[in-house]
Amino acid sequence: MSVLGNFIWLIFGGLVSGLAYIVGGILVSLTIIGIPFGKQAIKLGMATMTPFGREIMVAEDFDHPLSLLFNILWAILLGWEIAISHLVHGVVLAITIVGIPFAKQHFKLIPLALFPFGRELC
């Protein structure tokens, strides 16, 4: 089911969204200061491309003070917009019965979009 779900997801917007995150991450990484944020944007892009069959795992360095600082900066600058985007798309998809599995994937990506440092999608 996860292969079929990921395939349908890619056709109906997952590929474009994932590529946008990856290109944005590469552009942010052009500055030395933006490399950690670009790395997380690329990770979010890969997670957006294939969310079915994967779970968000908390990494060992989640409690690290630097991860906390970067998560706060990310949430203020970028994360809240991405999280709201996933929330809106999830609510719209949840209106139909066919869209419920895809809505669940959007809801699953909200914590990763809001606080990506110290989290992985495995």
DSSP string, 87-103: HHHHHHHHTSSTTHHHH
State pLDDT tens for residues 22-70.
999 999 999 999 999 999 999 889 888 989 988 888 888 788 889 999 9
Q: Please tell me the predicted confidence (pLDDT) of residue 117.
A: 92
Torsion angle (degrees, nearest 10) of CA 55, 58, 59, 62: 150
In this prediction the pTM is 0.86
Positive or negative: CA dihedral 6, 8, 10, 13 = negative
Kindly list the domain boundaries of the chain, sorted by start residue.
Answer: 2-121
121 strand-pairing partners = 56
